[in-house]
Amino acid sequence: MTDPVSEAQPADDTDRRTALAVDRTVLAAERTYAAWVRTGLAALAFAVGAPALLGNKVPAWLIMPTGGVLALFSGFCFVVAVWRELMPEIAPKPKTQRLPAALLIAVNGFLVLVSLAAFVGLLFS
């Protein structure tokens, strides 16, 4: 004769592990988002600082394209950050709340505009 309590426990344990795995997936997606934004901010900082850092060491014709590519790359990173954060559809409903899509789009949209402004500034400086 089997014990009904011991038969029910593996299903509950599996459900709990599944729920925890879904929460870990949400948190991993947020870490990936943060990594993309961090990379974009670093690229933007290097793009803006390229003329000052490379001013006397590299020919002038090479400084502006370098900064421009870094500014465009930073904009790319900000777009990919939002795309990667909003794309994963997690089948079971996670208990961990995800970042609001409107907030992600607003903040990263602003950062893309800053990247484009840096690109235009480097182009015409």
Q: How many domains are contained in the chain?
A: 1
Mean pLDDT throughout 1-6?
A: 51
Measured from the Cβ of residue 38, the count of other Cβ atoms closer than 10 Å reads: 12
Location of structure tokens 């997690």 = 90
- Return the pLDDT at 101: 87
CA–CA dist 36, 57 (Å, integer): 30
Is the model more confident about 6 or about 74?
A: 74
Question: In whole angstroms, what is the distance from residue 75 CA to residue 118 CA?
Answer: 10
Q: The domain containing residue 71 runs over which residues?
A: 4-123
pLDDT of 22 reads: 78
> What average pLDDT is seen over the chain?
84
Contact predicate 2/74, CB 8 Å: no
The secondary structure of residue 125, as a DSSP letter, is: -
- Stretch 75-103: mean pLDDT, rounded? 81
**Is the pLDDT score of 3 beyond 60?**
no
Q: What is the pLDDT of residue 118?
A: 94
pTM of the model: 0.77
Neighbours of 85 (CB within 10 A): 22
Alpha-helix residue ranges (DSSP H) falling in 3-124: 4-54, 60-86, 101-123
Q: What is the DSSP letter of 95?
A: S
Tokens read off for 73: 């790359």
Instruction: Say what the pLDDT of residue 107 is.
Output: 95
Contacts of 16-19 with C-beta under 8 Å, sequence gap 24+, read: 18/92, 19/92, 19/94, 19/95
Q: Which pLDDT tens digit goes with each residue over 24-72? A: 887 888 898 999 999 999 999 999 998 888 888 888 888 888 899 999 9
| Higher per-residue confidence, 22 vs 63 | 63
Between 98 and 90, name the one with better pLDDT.
98
Quote the CA–CA distance of 42 and 32 in Å, as a whole number: 15
pLDDT at 109: 96
